[in-house]
Amino acid sequence: MLLIQNGNVYDPASGTEGKRDILTANGKIVLIRPGISREDILRFVSEPENDVNGAQVRTIDASGLAVMPGFIDTHSHFRDPGFTEKEDINTGAAAAARGGYTTVIMMGNTKPPIDCPEILCDVLARGAKTPIHVLSCANVTKGMRGEELTDFDVLRKNGAVCFTDDGKPVMNKELLRHALLWASKLDTPVSLHEEDPAYVTNPGVNAGGKAAKALGLIGADRRAEYSLVARDTSMAAELNAPLCIQHISAAESVGIVRKAREINPKIHAEATPQHFSLTEEAVLRKGTLAKCNPPLRLESDRMAIIHGLMDGTIDIIATDHAPHTQAEKSGEFIKAPSGMIGLETAFSLGLKYLVEPGYLSLMKYIACLTANPADFYHLNAGRIAVGAPADLTIADLSASWVVHLPFASRAQNSPFLGETLPGTIRCTIVNGKIVSSDGWASK
């Protein structure tokens, strides 16, 4: 049993904000109230139906700290199987725990891809052995080739929480229509990477911008994204299908999603910390560390994403955690892979670029990391309530830290290395057990 005392609880799902104590037992939250007393605990323990088997109570004092639902990342690459020199399920889970994430959905652009129940069951079984909740998508198409749908029924039955070919768009419109219809019958989201290759000459850098010109590259045109966003949100609106637009980067895309959601509120969009924190100028400063798909764009695009978060057009913040080796990122820009790690810096970036400037309240920001993704992906997570899983993140919002090596991730490809960020994750709790701590919980 774990008793968290004197914390400032923020639970967007219930609207709870204020000082509370939280008692956990058998992996669940069992009491929430100001000032849980010894008598309260004895009364709970004495009730036979609670079955705590004489468990000892560990108490931690969270005075002055924020106690939040454990964060949920709906878009992470753990590179396992096939690319474990970059990351594997264990190191990815460690990075998640250090960043305050208690639940992660892995993407399926692995080798082999997650397009059959055998691969899906393997990664889920290995994920179950980590300290956090590791979930997985399944691919929309076999081999991510965009030619034939996977068996959604079988994959959903075996634990897939969404369907995506992330890393590649689904270019065949009729195939995607069938995918949306099938997923809709299962009430399971389809999550789409929207970049039409016809408009991408050099991935990872904004076409026509300062960085592309400095590098002598054409880049990736913004039409690559918003043309597919328009096509696919229109289709999802017509079919009333659950759809997520991944890592939105262009102002036009935000506007298209805004209008589509008026027709079908099952349409959602992700914002990544890099896209609401950085612009293409980061490529000039950080080189390949700031190369990502879709690329970082203009300040006007960054602000459009922030305004989308403000008005609820975008209500999920996902990291797109994308580990690569130092050797890969040390090469020539045009040859280096796109992507950056993000699980360990995401929370602080949101504080710095969304909460501190006053764009989002702390509660609305936390909702984008917890209750909102939990609701859309039908997860038993993302809330602080009696009977809910005891998945909690405790942070010191008044503290700051310098992004430094080593990361818990196997990779180190972050453009934020050396930067001072607000908010430190003090403790991550999964099923009532401390799975990551900076030492505070043992003091």
Q: What is the rounded radius of gyration, in angstroms, for the C-alpha atoms of the chain? A: 21
Distance CA 241, CA 264 (A): 8
| Residue 161 and residue 187 in contact, taking contact as beta carbons nearer than 8 Å | no
**Residue 439: partners with Cβ closer than 8 Å, 6 or more residues away:** none
| Residue 424 and residue 385 in contact, taking contact as beta carbons nearer than 8 Å | no
| Mean of pLDDT values over 282-286 | 98
pLDDT in tens, 420-429: 999 999 999 9
What DSSP designation does 423 have? Answer: E
Token pair in block for residue 255: 């506007």
Per-residue pLDDT at 442 exceeds 60: no
Catalytic positions are 320
Distance CA 127, CA 129 (A): 5
Per-residue pLDDT at 406 exceeds 90: yes
Q: What is the pLDDT of residue 433?
A: 96
Q: What is the pLDDT of residue 51?
A: 81
Token pair in block for residue 20: 């509370």
Residue 256 pLDDT level (bands cut at 50, 70, 90): very high
Pairing of strands 133-136, 101-106: parallel
Residue 97 pLDDT level (bands cut at 50, 70, 90): very high
pLDDT in tens, 328-373: 999 899 999 999 999 999 999 999 999 999 999 999 999 999 999 9
Residue 55 pLDDT level (bands cut at 50, 70, 90): confident
Q: To 5 degrees, how large is the angle CA 171–CA 177–CA 180?
A: 110
**β-bridge mates for residue 76, sequence order:** 106, 321
Per-residue pLDDT at 96 exceeds 70: yes
Instruction: Indicate the residue type of 199.
Output: Y
**β-bridge mates for residue 395, sequence order:** 66, 425
Residue 54 pLDDT level (bands cut at 50, 70, 90): low
- Please choose, from the candidates 317, 318, 325, the residue with its C-alpha nearest in 3D space to the C-alpha of residue 289: 325
Distance CA 106, CA 247 (A): 15
- Please give the helix or strand (H or E) that residue 421 lies within, else none: strand 420-430
Q: What is the pLDDT of residue 141?
A: 98
Model pTM score: 0.97
pLDDT in tens, 410-420: 999 999 999 99
Per-residue pLDDT at 127 exceeds 60: yes
**Residue 86: partners with Cβ closer than 8 Å, 6 or more residues away:** 79, 323, 324, 325, 328, 410, 411
| Residue 372 and residue 309 in contact, taking contact as beta carbons nearer than 8 Å | no
Q: What percent of the chain has pLDDT over 90?
A: 95
pLDDT in tens, 148-183: 999 999 999 999 999 999 999 999 999 999 999 999
| Mean of pLDDT values over 204-221 | 97
Mean pLDDT of the chain: 97
- Please choose, from the candidates 182, 372, 219, the residue with its C-alpha nearest in 3D space to the C-alpha of residue 294: 219
**Residue 256: partners with Cβ closer than 8 Å, 6 or more residues away:** 226, 229, 230, 233
Half-sphere exposure of 141 toward its Cβ, with a 13 Å CA cutoff? 21
